[in-house]
Amino acid sequence: MPKAPLHIGMTLAPTWLSGEAWRRPDSAVEGLLGFDYYIDIARRAEAAKLDFVFRPDVMAVNMGLLGRGGGMGGLDPTLLLSAIAHATDRIGLLTTISTTFYPPYVLARMLMSLHWLSKGRAGWNIVTALDGQRNFSLRDMPGPEERYARAAEVTEIVTRLWDSFPRDAWAPDRDSGRFVDAEMVRPIAFEGQFHSVEGPLSVPSFGTGLNRIPLVQAGASETGRDFAARVADATFASTPDMEAAIDLRRDLRRRALAHGRPADAVRLMPGLSLYLAPTEAEARDLHRATHAAADTGRKLANIREMTGLDLTDWPQDRPIRAADLPPTPQRLRSRTHAALLRRAILRDEPTLAALLEMPEVAGSAHWQVIGTVGHAVDAIRTWQDAGAMDGFILFPGGSTGCMHLCLDGLCPALAEAGLLRREYAHATFAGHLAGPAP
Ligand SMILES: Cc1cc2nc3c(=O)[nH]c(=O)nc-3n(C[C@H](O)[C@H](O)[C@H](O)COP(=O)(O)O)c2cc1C
CATH number assigned to the domain comprising residue 121: 3.20.20.30
What's the pLDDT at 362?
83
What's the pLDDT at 333?
86
Q: How many domains does the chain have?
A: 1
pLDDT tier, 140 (very low <50, low <70, confident <90, very high otherwise): very high
Residues 6 or more apart whose Cβ sits within 8 Å of residue 396: 11, 15, 16, 274, 275, 276, 402, 403, 405, 406
| Domain of residue 92, residue span | 7-280+368-433
In whole angstroms, give the CA distance from residue 364 to residue 358. 10
In whole angstroms, give the CA distance from residue 113 to residue 105. 12
Coil, strand or helix at 327: coil
Q: Is 224 in the pocket of ligand 1 (CB under 6 A)?
A: yes
Ligand 1 centre distance from Cα of residue 334 (Å): 7
In whole angstroms, give the CA distance from residue 100 to residue 325. 31
Return the percentage of the chain with pLDDT > 90, whole number. 91
Ligand 1 centre distance from Cα of residue 379 (Å): 25
Coil, strand or helix at 179: strand
Q: Is 394 in the pocket of ligand 1 (CB under 6 A)?
A: no
Is 314 a domain residue?
A: no
Which residues are annotated as part of the binding site for FMN? 57, 96, 148, 221
At residue 6, does pLDDT exceed 70?
yes
Please provide the DSSP assignment of 104-157 as one string: HHHHHHHHHHHHHHTTS-EEEEEE--SS-GGGGT-SSPPPHHHHHHHHHHHHHH
Q: Is 335 in the pocket of ligand 1 (CB under 6 A)?
A: yes
Is 58 a domain residue?
A: yes
Is 276 a domain residue?
A: yes
CB atoms within 10 A of CB 35: 14
Ligand 1, atom 10: closest residue by C-alpha: 129
pLDDT tier, 53 (very low <50, low <70, confident <90, very high otherwise): very high
In whole angstroms, give the CA distance from residue 114 to residue 102. 16
Is 138 a domain residue?
A: yes
Asked if 78 and 97 touch (Cβ cutoff 8 Å), the reply is yes
What's the pLDDT at 428?
98
Asked if 424 and 432 touch (Cβ cutoff 8 Å), the reply is yes
Coil, strand or helix at 338: helix
Ligand 1 centre distance from Cα of residue 237 (Å): 9
In whole angstroms, give the CA distance from residue 400 to residue 50. 19
Is 210 a domain residue?
A: yes
Q: Is 144 in the pocket of ligand 1 (CB under 6 A)?
A: yes
Coil, strand or helix at 97: strand
Render pLDDT for 363-374 as a digit per residue (tens, 0 to 9): 889 999 999 999
Asked if 247 and 155 touch (Cβ cutoff 8 Å), the reply is no
Provide the 8-state DSSP code for 2: P
What's the pLDDT at 1?
57
In whole angstroms, give the CA distance from residue 50 to residue 92. 8
Ligand 1 centre distance from Cα of residue 219 (Å): 5
pLDDT tier, 283 (very low <50, low <70, confident <90, very high otherwise): very high
* Residue from 130, 226, 393 whose mutation best tests the ligand 1 pocket (most atoms within 8 A of CB): 130
Is 125 a domain residue?
A: yes
Relative to beta strand 170-173, strand 122-127 is unpaired
What's the pLDDT at 64?
84
In whole angstroms, give the CA distance from residue 332 to residue 336. 9
Ligand 1, atom 28: closest residue by C-alpha: 218
What's the pLDDT at 47?
98
Rounded (10°) angle between helices 77-87 and 35-47: 60
What's the pLDDT at 73?
80
Ligand 1, atom 22: closest residue by C-alpha: 334
Closest atom of ligand 1 to CA, residue 336: 27
Is 420 a domain residue?
A: yes
Render pLDDT for 74-131 as a digit per residue (tens, 0 to 9): 999 999 999 999 999 999 999 999 999 999 999 999 999 999 999 999 999 999 998 9
pLDDT tier, 272 (very low <50, low <70, confident <90, very high otherwise): very high
CA distances (Å), origin 26, targets 275, 286, 399: 17, 14, 8
Ligand 1 centre distance from Cα of residue 195 (Å): 22
Asked if 228 and 217 touch (Cβ cutoff 8 Å), the reply is yes
Q: Is 77 in the pocket of ligand 1 (CB under 6 A)?
A: no
* Residue from 128, 216, 217, 222 whose mutation best tests the ligand 1 pocket (most atoms within 8 A of CB): 128
At residue 151, does pLDDT exceed 70?
yes
What's the pLDDT at 94?
98
CA distances (Å), origin 277, targets 263, 273, 283, 355: 37, 13, 5, 25
Q: Is 56 in the pocket of ligand 1 (CB under 6 A)?
A: yes
In whole angstroms, give the CA distance from residue 236 to residue 213. 16
At residue 2, does pLDDT exceed 70?
no
CB atoms within 10 A of CB 282: 14
Ligand 1 centre distance from Cα of residue 128 (Å): 6
Q: Is 95 in the pocket of ligand 1 (CB under 6 A)?
A: no
Which residues are annotated as part of the binding site? 57, 96, 148, 221
Instruction: Return mean pLDDT, the chain.
Output: 96
Closest atom of ligand 1 to CA, residue 364: 1
Ligand 1, atom 31: closest residue by C-alpha: 219
Is 246 a domain residue?
A: yes
